[in-house]
Amino acid sequence: MVEFITVAVMHIFAVVSPGPDFALITRQCFRYGRIVALWSSLGIAMGIVFHVFLSLTGLSLLIQHQPLIFNVIKILGSIYIAFLGLVSILSTSRLRELGEDSPQEVKKLKSFATGLMTNTLNPKAFIFFITVFSLVISENTPIMFKIFMGAYMSIATFVWFSFLSVMLTNHRANGIVYKYFPWLEKITGFLLIFISLRILFGELEVFY
């Protein structure tokens, strides 16, 4: 029970802290609306499953101690997040109707993949889960409990970003988004680029 509470508290602070995932969902809400943001939230949640798998198998610890592999992941993650930011800054298109994106405009699978890639390519996520599974959870912890904790963190992540998606696309928020959309999108873009630079130079704290 103590292990569960400790992991749950660590995860809550990590998942609600501003980081690549938070900035991505904000971007998706502003640019494409609720449905796309929800699918991206699901992709982020599945990214958690990926990191849990790496931690349970010891691969994440191996990657961390291989500077070349870890640096490649860091660079790829930074480039991808910066790319999303540049698209937001340079875009001149208008805001799509919230909640009315058709599969022809924005594929659900693409939205899912965007969330998945943003989370899995975040090198700080590797460090977070290494911390959880090496310092908080002991070697004597049953494997089923570790799997349960991984499932909990994935579900909790999806619930949080789904909640954020709904809040940012409710009727009251819609008026603000439509009025200030160009500025909101560019601010989000600069935030993504800032985060990518912090990740690249290893200064970002353990945020999702």
Range of lowest pLDDT (20-29, 42-51, 68-77, 161-170): 68-77
Q: Would you say the pTM of this structure is higher than 0.85?
A: no
Nearest CA-CA partner of 207 in 106, 130, 128: 128
Give the chain as a 3 state SS string.
CHHHHHHHHHHHHHHHCCCHHHHHHHHHHHHCCHHHHHHHHHHHHHHHHHHHHHHHHCHHHHHHCCHHHHHHHHHHHHHHHHHHHHHHHHCCCCCCCCCCCCCCCCCHHHHHHHHHHHHHCCHHHHHHHHHHHHHHCCCCCCHHHHHHHHHHHHHHHHHHHHHHHHHHCCHHHHHHHHHHHHHHHHHHHHHHHHHHHHHHCCCCCCCC
Residue 206, pLDDT score: 39
What single letter denotes the amino acid at residue 91? S
pLDDT single digits (tens) 17-41: 778 888 889 888 878 888 889 999 9
Residue 1, pLDDT score: 67
Give the chain's radius of gyration (CA, Å). Answer: 17
Please compute, for residue 60, the number of CA atoms within 13 A of its CA located in the half-sphere on the CB side.
25
- Per the model's pLDDT, the better-predicted residue between 134 and 93 turns out to be 134
Q: Which residue do the tokens 């690549």 mark?
A: 20
Statement: residue 14 has pLDDT above 50 = yes
Statement: residue 106 has pLDDT above 90 = no
Residue 112, pLDDT score: 93
What is the rounded average pLDDT of the residues 66-86?
78
Range of lowest pLDDT (29-33, 101-105, 152-156, 167-171): 101-105
How is the chain split into domains, by residue range?
Answer: 2-200
Statement: residue 194 has pLDDT above 90 = no
Residue 47, pLDDT score: 93
